[in-house]
Amino acid sequence: MKNYIIADEWNIIEEGFDPHLNKISESIFSLGNGHMGQRANFEEAYSGDTLPGNYVAGVYYPDKTRVGWWKNGYPEYFAKVLNAANWIGIDIAIDGEQLDLAKCKVSSFKRVLNMRDGYLERSFTAELKSGKKLSVIAKRFCSIVDEEAGAISYAITPLNFDGDITVTPFIDGDVSNADSNYDEKFWDEVDKKAAGQGCYLTLRTRKTGFEVCTGNRVEVVNDGSETNVEVRHVLKDKYVAFVFDVAVKQNQTTTIYKYAANVSSQNYEPVQLLDACKKVIAKVSAKGFDTMLAEQAAAWHHKWAESDIVIAGDVKAQQGIRFNIFQLSQTYSGKDARLNIGPKGFTGEKYGGSTYWDTEAYCVPFYLGTAAPEVTKNLLIYRYKQLGKAIENAEKLGFNKGAALYPMVTMNGEECHNEWEITFEEIHRNGAIAYAIFNYIRYTGDSSYLNDYGLEVLIGIARFWKQRVNWSSQKSQYVMLGVTGPNEYENNVNNNWYTSTLATWCMAYAMKAMDYVKKHDAAKYASLTKAINFNEADEIKQWQHIIDNMYYGEDKDLGIFLQQDNFLDKEIIHVKDLPAADRPLNQKWSWDRILRSCFIKQADVLQGMYFFSDRYNMDTLRRNYEFYEPLTVHESSLSPCIHAILASKLGLEQDAYNFYLRTSRLDLDDYNNDTEDGCHITSMAGTWMSVVEGFAGMQVVNEQLTFSPFLPEHWQSYSFNIRFRGVLVNIKVDRGGVHLSNTSAAAISVNVFDDAYQLNPGKDTTVKYKPKNG
Ligand code: BGC
Mutate which of 78, 341, 358, 635 for ligand 1 pocket (most atoms within 8 A of beta carbon): 358
* Other residues' Cβ atoms within 10 Å of the Cβ of residue 540: 16
Closest-lying ligand 1 atom to the alpha carbon of residue 683? 12
- Ligand 1 lined by 300 (C-beta under 6 Å): no
- Ligand 1 lined by 486 (C-beta under 6 Å): yes
Closest-lying ligand 1 atom to the alpha carbon of residue 408? 10
Mutate which of 408, 489, 638, 639 for ligand 1 pocket (most atoms within 8 A of beta carbon): 638
- Ligand 1 lined by 635 (C-beta under 6 Å): no
Closest-lying ligand 1 atom to the alpha carbon of residue 357? 10
CA of 92 to the centre of ligand 1 (A): 42
- Ligand 1 lined by 356 (C-beta under 6 Å): yes
DSSP code of residue 465? H
Whose Cα sits closest to atom 1 in ligand 1? 636
Q: What is the full DSSP assignment across 10-49?
A: SEEEEES--GGGHHHHHHHT-EE-SSEEE----SS---SS
CA of 635 to the centre of ligand 1 (A): 9
CA of 223 to the centre of ligand 1 (A): 52
CA of 743 to the centre of ligand 1 (A): 37
Residues 6 or more apart from 419 whose CB is under 8 A from it?
Answer: none
Task: Give the C-alpha separation, 266 to 338, whole Å.
Answer: 9
Cβ atoms of 214 and 200 closer than 8 Å: yes
Cβ atoms of 217 and 198 closer than 8 Å: yes
Task: Give the C-alpha separation, 437 to 382, whole Å.
Answer: 12
Give helix then strand counts, H and E, for the chain.
Answer: 22, 33
Q: Which of 171, 172, 174, 166 is nearest to 243 (CA)?
A: 166
Mutate which of 423, 488, 681 for ligand 1 pocket (most atoms within 8 A of beta carbon): 488
- Ligand 1 lined by 357 (C-beta under 6 Å): yes
CA of 669 to the centre of ligand 1 (A): 20
Closest-lying ligand 1 atom to the alpha carbon of residue 351? 5
488 given a catalytic annotation: yes
Whose Cα sits closest to atom 3 in ligand 1? 358
- Ligand 1 lined by 488 (C-beta under 6 Å): yes
- Ligand 1 lined by 17 (C-beta under 6 Å): no
Give the pLDDT confidence score for residue 774 in this predicted structure: 39
pTM for this structure? 0.96
CA of 736 to the centre of ligand 1 (A): 40
Closest-lying ligand 1 atom to the alpha carbon of residue 488? 8
Whose Cα sits closest to atom 8 in ligand 1? 636
- Ligand 1 lined by 602 (C-beta under 6 Å): yes
CA of 636 to the centre of ligand 1 (A): 6
Give the pLDDT confidence score for residue 422 in this predicted structure: 83
Q: Where are the beta strands (DSSP E) in 265-303?
A: none
Closest-lying ligand 1 atom to the alpha carbon of residue 680? 12
Task: Give the C-alpha separation, 629 to 574, whole Å.
Answer: 9
Q: Which of 175, 155, 140, 169 is nearest to 59 (CA)?
A: 175
Closest-lying ligand 1 atom to the alpha carbon of residue 602? 8
pLDDT along the chain (774 residues), means of 10: 95 98 98 98 98 97 85 86 96 97 98 98 98 98 98 98 97 94 93 95 97 97 88 97 96 97 98 98 98 98 96 96 97 96 94 92 97 97 98 95 96 88 92 98 97 98 98 98 97 97 98 98 98 97 98 98 98 97 95 98 98 97 98 96 98 96 92 93 95 98 96 96 95 97 94 96 92 53
- Ligand 1 lined by 331 (C-beta under 6 Å): no
CA of 686 to the centre of ligand 1 (A): 13
- Ligand 1 lined by 12 (C-beta under 6 Å): no
- Ligand 1 lined by 365 (C-beta under 6 Å): no
CA of 680 to the centre of ligand 1 (A): 10
CA of 317 to the centre of ligand 1 (A): 25
List the catalytic residue out of 14, 211, 415, 488: 488
Helices (H), 2-121: 22-28
**CA 418, 564, 672, 688 torsion: positive or negative?**
positive
SS3 279: helix
Q: Which of 702, 83, 666 is nearest to 346 (CA)?
A: 83
Query: 3-state secondary structure string, 390-415?
Result: HHHHHHHCCCCCCCCCCCCCECCCCC
CA of 410 to the centre of ligand 1 (A): 13
Whose Cα sits closest to atom 6 in ligand 1? 636
Give the pLDDT confidence score for residue 771 in this predicted structure: 65
Closest-lying ligand 1 atom to the alpha carbon of residue 356? 10
- Ligand 1 lined by 343 (C-beta under 6 Å): yes
Task: Give the C-alpha separation, 490 to 500, whole Å.
Answer: 16
- Ligand 1 lined by 449 (C-beta under 6 Å): no
User: C-alpha angle with apex 359: 506 to 52, nearest 5 degrees?
Assistant: 155
Whose Cα sits closest to atom 12 in ligand 1? 343
